[in-house]
Structure 1
Amino acid sequence: MSSFALAQTSFASSVGIPAPISGLIFGQGVSGIMFLVGGLFLAFMGLVLVFFFLRYFKLWFQAYMSVADVTLVSLIRMHFTRVNPNVVVQAKVMSAQAGLSIDRNDGISTRRLEAHFLAGGNVMNVIHAIIAAHRADIPLDFDQASAIDLAGRDVLDAVQTSVYPKVIDCPDPARSGKTTLSAITKNGIELRVRARVTVRTNIGQLIGGATEDTVIARVGEAIISSIGSADTHFHVLENPDMITKKVLSRGLDAQTAFEIVSIDIGDIDVGENIGARLQSDQAEADTRVARATAESRRAEAIADEQQMKAKVTDNRSRLVLAEAEVPRAMAEAFTAGRISAPN
C-alpha cells in the first residue's frame, strides 16, 4: 500500500468514517471530495430547514388553518429582515377572519404588512382600524390607513370617533385654562358662554387637516361674533339657538380633520355691564382732561396777572421819575424868566 493510501486510511479512521465509505470517497479522488462537500452542505441546509420548521411550524399551521396565506418561506424571510412574524401572522389571521381581502396583489398581503412594520408603523392598530371601518361600512383601505398611521395620527381612534362622535368643550379648560367665552352685545352687557361641540372624524381630511385646536378656535370666534351682532343681551338669552344656527351656517369644519355634527350652548351667564363701565371710564377721562385744561388756563391767568402787576410797578416808577422832573423844570423856568412871580 502506498504512502498516500495509508494517509487516506489514517484520516478516515481519525474522523470516524467507515472503511467502505472512505474507500468510496478517496478512491474517486477529487470527485469524491466534491461529493463529500456537497453532502455536508445538504446536511447543513437540512438542519437549517429543520430548525426553522420547528421554530415557525406553529405560526405557519395557525395561518394555514385560518386560510391566512402565509408561507413558511415568508416566515423565514421575516426572521432575516427582523420583522416580528407573530404580529404579521396575527394581522393576516384577523384580516382573513374578518372577511377582508388578503390578495397578494391588491389586498392586505404579507409583503405590505412587512413593509409597514419596517417603516415603523403600528400594524395591529391599522388592522383593528380597518376591521372597525369595515364593520361600520366606512370606506378605508390598507394604503390609506397605513398612510394615516405613518403620519402620526391614531387611525383606530379616528375610526372610533367617526363611528361614535366625541364632544369637545369650547373653550377647553385643559388647553386655555378658561371655562367660559366672554362676549359683549351691542348694549354693552357681557355674556359668558360655555358651548359643547360634537364632532366626528373626517377620514378623507385626516391627513393634512386641521386638528381640534383649530375647531375650538373657529367655534369660539363664531360664538363671540354672533353675540356681538345681537342688539341686546335679552335677545340672546331668549333665543340661544340663534348662536348655534349662525355658527353652523359658516362651515367651520372646512379643511379640518373633523366634521361638526352639532353645537350646543351649555350655559349662558350675564356678566358685567361693560358699556356702562366704559362710559364711566370715558367720563372720568373727560373730567381729568377738563381739569387739566382748567388748571392750565388758571396758571395762564396767574401768569398774566403777575405780568400786569409788573407793568403797573414799572409805570409807577416812571411816574415817580416824571414827577421828579417837574420841580427841576419849574426852577429852570423861573431862572429863564419864563415864569414870574405874581404882583
Structure 2
Amino acid sequence: MPNGSGTVIKRGRTYTIIYRKVQGGRMVMRSKGGFVTKAAARAYYPMLANPQDNPQTTTVAQLWIMLQKQRKWQDISQDKRGHYATAYKRLAPIHDREIGSLRFWELQDLVEDLPGAFYPKRDAKTVLQKIYDVAVINEFISPAKAQLISYLELPSKPLTAQDARTPAEMQAIWDDWTAGHDVAGYMLIMAYLGLRTGELMAIDPDAVDLDARCVVGGIKTEAGRNREIPIARAVLPVIRQLLPQAKSGLCAYGIEKLYSEYGKMIERTGIRQLRPYCQRHTCYTRLLEVKPEIPQAVINAIVGHSNGKLADTYGHISLDAKLAAVDAMQMLPTDVNN
C-alpha cells in the first residue's frame, strides 16, 4: 500500500476511511467512520490526510450548544424553541458528526426519514440552517457550505400521476441532452433508474456494471440501500457517456451546480417547474402503467420502496425481471404510440 494512502472499509452498515503514513520511522494512522456510503468516506479523505488544512472543526452537537447561547435564540418564543429542540433531537444520527464532513444527500435523506409530514421536516431544516449559520459566523465552514441547506426539499403533498413528467416533457429532456446539456442526462438517469437526487450524488461509480446493465447502490430505507438497480436499455448510452466524468456520485459536479443547471434546463425546455425528485416519481408512475401489469414487489425492488412483507422478497427478484420491467416503460410519445 503506498505511503500516505487511504483505505475504505465497511463496518456493519457504515463505512470508515483510514489514513496511514510513515513519518519519522513510525506509522501515523487516522480514521473516521459512520459514513453511509463508500463515496462519502472517500470524500472525507483530504481532511484526514491534511488536518492542518482544517484546524477549526466542530460537531453538530457543539454548534447546537453555541446556537442556544446566541441573543437571537433568546428572542425566539419558548414554544418555538421547544419545537426546535424536538427537531434537533430527531437529528441524533448527525449530532457527533463534524459539520464540514456532512454531505447534502445525507442531510436530505435524514430529513426525509423524519416522522410526520411537512411541519416536523420544516422545523428540522430550520434548525439545520441555524446550526450552519453559527458555523459560518465562527468560521468553521464557508458561507457557500451553509447554502446547501436551502436546497433541502420538503414535502408539499402526496405525489400523484400529475407530478410525473409527461411523455412530451421527457422528449424535451431527451432533446436537451442531444443538444449537449449534461444536466438533461442526469435527469434521464434519475427517471429511468428511479433514483433519488441524493442517490445520484452518492452512488459509487465503481458500482455501475454497464455490461450487466445494473447498479448496486441506493440510500435511505433498508429496502433502498444497496439494492440492485436495473439500467433501462434506452438510457444506457447516456450513462456510458457521463460515467467517466463522475466526481460527486454519478454526477460531474456538486449539488449546487446540479440545481442551478436544472433550473436552466427548465427555462430552455419550457417544461413544468417540478423539483428533480419528480424524475424518480416518473419512473414509479410509468412502471405502474406497464401492461401486462408488473407485480408490485418487482416495482418496489426497482425503486427501493419498503412495503412490509414485500421487502423480504426483494433479494429473490431476478435482475432479468427488473430489466424487462424498466425496458417496458413508456417514457416518450413514440413509446406510447407503439
Query: TM tier, shorter chain?
Result: under 0.3
**Higher relative CO (CA 8 A, sep ≥ 6), structure 1 or 2?**
2
Structure-2-length-normalised TM-score: 0.22
The structure richer in helix per residue is 1
Structure-1-length-normalised TM-score: 0.21
